[in-house]
Amino acid sequence: MISFTERSNSIRIISARPATRKEREDYERNSL
């Protein structure tokens, strides 16, 4: 799971962590 913000010509990463099982399943189910 990544949180980020776009600033001018760059992208700033706010936080990054592995996705939980539920987050991964939700993403895989709705990725289309």
> Where do the structural domains in the chain lie, given as residue ranges?
1-32
What's the sign of the alpha-carbon dihedral 32, 8, 10, 13?
negative
- The overall pTM is greater than 0.95: no
Q: Are 4 and 11 in contact (CB under 8 A)?
A: yes
pLDDT of residue 21: 97
On the question of pLDDT at 3 being above 70, the answer is: yes
pLDDT-above-70 percentage for the chain? 94
Average pLDDT of the chain, as a whole number = 92
Whole-angstrom distance, CA of residue 20 vs CA of residue 1: 8
